[in-house]
Amino acid sequence: MCRTYGAGTGAVTALADVSIGFAAGAFTAIMGPSGSGKSTLLQCAAGLERPDSGMIWIAGTELTRLNERRRTLLRRAHVGFVFQSFNLLPSLTAEQNVGLPARLAGRRVSRTDIRSALREVGLAGREHRYPTELSGGQQQRVAIARAVVNRPSVLFADEPTGALDSQTSRDVLSMLRALVDTRGQTIIMVTHDPIAAARADRVVFFADGRPIEELVDPTSGSVLDHMTRLEAAAC
Ligand X SMILES: Nc1ncnc2c1ncn2[C@@H]1O[C@H](COP(=O)(O)OP(=O)(O)OP(=O)(O)O)[C@@H](O)[C@H]1O
Which residues of this protein are in contact with ligand X, per CB under 6 A?
5-6, 12, 14, 32, 34-40
DSSP 8-state symbol, 21: -
Of the pair 5, 57, the CB lying nearest ligand X is at 5
**What φ, ψ does residue 106 adopt, rounded to 5°?**
75, 20
Of the pair 27, 83, the CB lying nearest ligand X is at 83
Least distance in angstroms from the C-beta of 209 to ligand X: 7
Nearest to 134 by CA among 103, 162, 97: 97
Coil, strand or helix at 95: helix
Of the pair 120, 159, the CB lying nearest ligand X is at 159
- Spell out where the chain has E strands: 3-5, 12-15, 27-31, 57-58, 61-62, 79-82, 154-158, 186-190, 202-207, 210-216
Of the pair 136, 211, the CB lying nearest ligand X is at 211
Least distance in angstroms from the C-beta of 63 to ligand X: 18
Least distance in angstroms from the C-beta of 12 to ligand X: 5
Whole-number Å distance between alpha carbons of 166 and 182: 24
Least distance in angstroms from the C-beta of 71 to ligand X: 18
Least distance in angstroms from the C-beta of 33 to ligand X: 7
Of the pair 29, 94, the CB lying nearest ligand X is at 29
Whole-number Å distance between alpha carbons of 190 and 226: 16
DSSP 8-state symbol, 55: -
